[in-house]
Amino acid sequence: MKKIFTVAMLLACLAPVAMAATTEQETVSDPEQGLLINGFWDNWFISLDGGASVFLSPYDNELEFTKRIAPAASLNFGKWWTPVFGTRIGLDYMSANSAALNADAFGFQADGLIDGFDDLYQQRHHGLRPHLDGMVDLVNLFGGYNPNRVYSLIIFGGMGYGYGWEEGQPISDGDWCAELRGGLINTFHVSDAIDINIELKVSKYDSGLTKEGRGPNSWYNLNTSANIGIAYNFPQRGWEAPVIPVVVPVVPKYTDAEGDALVAQLNDANNRIKDLEEDLANANNRIAELEEDLENVDRGPLATVYFEINKSNLDRNNRKVIAKIADAIKATPNVKYVVTGYADAETGTDAFNAKLRQQRAEAVYNALIKNGVNADQLTWKASDKSEKLNKFDFTKDRAATIKVVAQ
């Protein structure tokens, strides 16, 4: 079996060598590029984030900064069309704490004069604005696509059109307003499915929102926000579309003459394996025949171990003999054996001899087990007092026999 395994290993090593000798080129694809494209239903995501916003209108600097901070949140649903370009639609919630010169700025009534001012009014309002953004992953754009990358920096821009209303007033009294928006998203890829996002955003509202911005300060009316949130990426999440292949010529490792020699060696190995398999099959058949013959033969004792008078202990020579007998028994694992203890009937009482026959059988049985014989192959018994090993010499009955059990 060891020879067959060795030749089989040689075949496994030679087979790719023979194939390499006939290969002229291979095709290699480069997955680390930004032009991979997947199916329409791949690489979709949903994200939710929340944070704080600060509104910037012409007179907001007159308010304490901490009083200008207001809550903000966003829900987005989008898709990456390539590792670089994506789009998303969503709904923003924003609120604003602002200062205005007119009591009806923002298109709403003022909340009252700001402390210390007789001409500035405090404004508080809320807004919900659906939006559409385009996104560019700058890391994949300049660094190439890498599925194991942990961090991405995404720039986005888009527009929205939503509704706002004054705090404490009916929502129906609100007003509509257009929005231009843009910002950065710092994305940390926790796993294939989960991203953590930190988003920084600036929104520019209609220049007439505060009813004070149609002059030199028309660029004002901005809302800045910083949000943190989580995104879930729906399966399929990877990029498996084919890319432009690169054909690389392969230089043969062996000459034609060397390849022919290896093929000849392979054929010789095949023939040798066939011969060894036939030899093994013949040997197995012969073993089966011998085991069958062994089971059907009426044998005498395999071995007889002799003891001194009135003794059941094994001396050094007997222990050596039993070790050899154990090896023979282990070589025939399908054959069962019985150990029988005897005692001469000419000396000692019947009770003493009965005990002595049992002790001699147990001594040989235990020695065989100690030498590694499977206990399932062995039994032991004490002979009847009328049984004799040698009817002419009673001293030969001071023994224990090891015999094949008749099938």
The pLDDT value recorded for residue 297 is: 52
Task: Decide: 206 and 241 in contact? Cβ < 8 Å.
Answer: no
pLDDT score of 184: 96
Determine the Cα–Cα distance for residues 322 and 309; give it in Å rounded to an integer: 20
- Dihedral, CA of residue 210, residue 213, residue 219 and residue 225, to nearest 10: -10
On the question of a cis peptide bond just before residue 123, with omega within 30 degrees of 0, the verdict is no
The Cα–Cα gap between 299 and 368 comes to: 20
The conformation of residue 113, written as its DSSP 8-state character, comes to: B
DSSP per position, 244-291: -EEEEE---SS-HHHHHHHHHHHHHHHHHHHHHHHHHHHHHHHHHHHH
Give pLDDT, residue 295. Answer: 58
Element (H, E) at 389: none
Sign of CA dihedral 211, 215, 219, 225: negative
Listed in sequence order, the residues at least 6 apart from 351 whose beta carbon sits closer than 8 Å to its beta carbon are none
**How do the residues of the chain divide into helix, strand and coil, expressed in percent and rounded to 5?**
30, 35, 35
- Name the residue ranges covered by the structural domains of the chain: 44-233, 300-404
CATH architecture of 44-233: Beta Barrel (2.40)
What is the C-alpha separation between 178 and 204, in angstroms, rounded? Answer: 8
Per-residue model confidence as pLDDT tens for the chain (407 residues)? 444 444 444 444 544 444 444 445 555 555 555 456 778 889 999 999 999 998 877 677 777 788 789 899 999 999 999 889 999 999 999 888 777 766 555 555 556 667 666 667 777 778 888 999 999 999 989 988 888 899 999 999 999 988 877 776 777 667 787 889 999 999 999 998 999 999 999 988 765 555 554 344 444 678 899 999 999 999 888 776 555 555 656 667 778 888 888 889 999 999 999 999 998 988 888 887 776 665 555 556 888 999 998 898 999 999 999 999 999 999 999 999 999 999 988 888 989 999 999 999 999 999 999 999 999 999 999 998 888 888 788 888 889 999 998 76
186: exposed, middle or buried (Cβ count in 10 Å: 0-12, 13-18, 19+): middle
Q: What's the one-letter identity of residue 353?
A: N
The C-alpha atoms of residue 407 and residue 401 are separated, in whole angstroms, by 18
Unique residue bearing structure tokens 């050899």: 324
pLDDT given for residue 234 in this prediction: 93
pLDDT of residue 283: 86
CA dist 173 and 107 (Å) reads 10
Pure H helices in 65-149: 65-68, 138-143
Question: Is 3.30.1330.60 the CATH classification of the domain at 300-404?
Answer: yes
Are 44-233 and 300-404 the same fold in CATH?
no
Residue recorded with tokens 């907001």: 60
Q: Output the pTM of the full model.
A: 0.50
3-state DSSP assignment of residue 11? helix
